[in-house]
Amino acid sequence: MPRTLREMALTADLVARATRLVEDAGPSPGAVYMTDEDYDVAIGNVLAQAPVGDVWLFGYGSLLWKPACEFTESRIATVRGWHRAFCFRVARFRGTRDRPGLMLALDRGGRCKGMVFKLPPAQISASLNVLFRREMVVKPAVNVPRWMTVETDEGLIRALGMAVNRQSPHYAGKLQLDEAADILASAAGHWGSCAEYLRETVFRLEELGIHDESLWQLQALVAERLQSSLRCQTSK
């Protein structure tokens, strides 16, 4: 039987009604962007440290609902010593320079339940190229790849996860839920809104039977702010 999902306060309709179109302002002044050579070096460094055998990716956010590449197998998995958090700011993609957004990354401490995806052997370098270009844009990268030990029902696996670089100027640190909700309810870029990103992540986690209490509270807070904003607009 299909799973009965709990009803989210942050509905697709609410996110759609609060959506606004944002043009891409282009590269941020002063930002140093990754080059083709940088991506080649990053892929080479990661593969030089790869475990023997299959290559797995650990997904905790958008990879769960918007895969970066093809995969041949997936499993529910848990990584310890890391947790998912909206902990870095973006001035492009899902934010703007005057209203930066927040994105998810793995930050130190706690535990995180997500999924691991096995890459097709013949497409490993190509897959990592697509993933890195999506996750790492500027230098120094705010999201960096590292090998992690994850737990699955079939045993332990070494998988590649994207962890936040706390030395990056874009690292936001540990934000209170109310502060994060204020940002997520208002920030948007040419890729879409932060509210949409949050909703898609929470919805997919619930579909998988993974309940993240912090994100569940956050989606309710963002829904409250969007509803309040829409009421103000209609009362004018």
The closest of 62, 51, 46, 50 to 129, measured between CA atoms, is 46
Sole residue written with tokens 């310890």: 80
The residues facing 108 across adjacent strands are 82
Dist CA 187 CA 183 (whole Å)? 6
Q: For the residues of 42-104, what is the DSSP string, one character each?
A: HHHHHHHTPPSS--EEEESSHHHHS-SS--SEEEEEEEEEEEEEEEEEESSSS--SSS-EEEE
Question: Who's near 162: CB < 8 A, 6+ residues apart?
Answer: 105, 106, 135, 143, 144, 145
DSSP H or E run through 145? strand 143-152
CB 146 within 8 A of CB 79: no
Asked about 135 being catalytic, the answer comes back as: yes
Catalytic option among 70, 73, 135, 151? 135
| Terminal Cα distance for the chain, rounded | 47
Residues involved in catalysis: 135
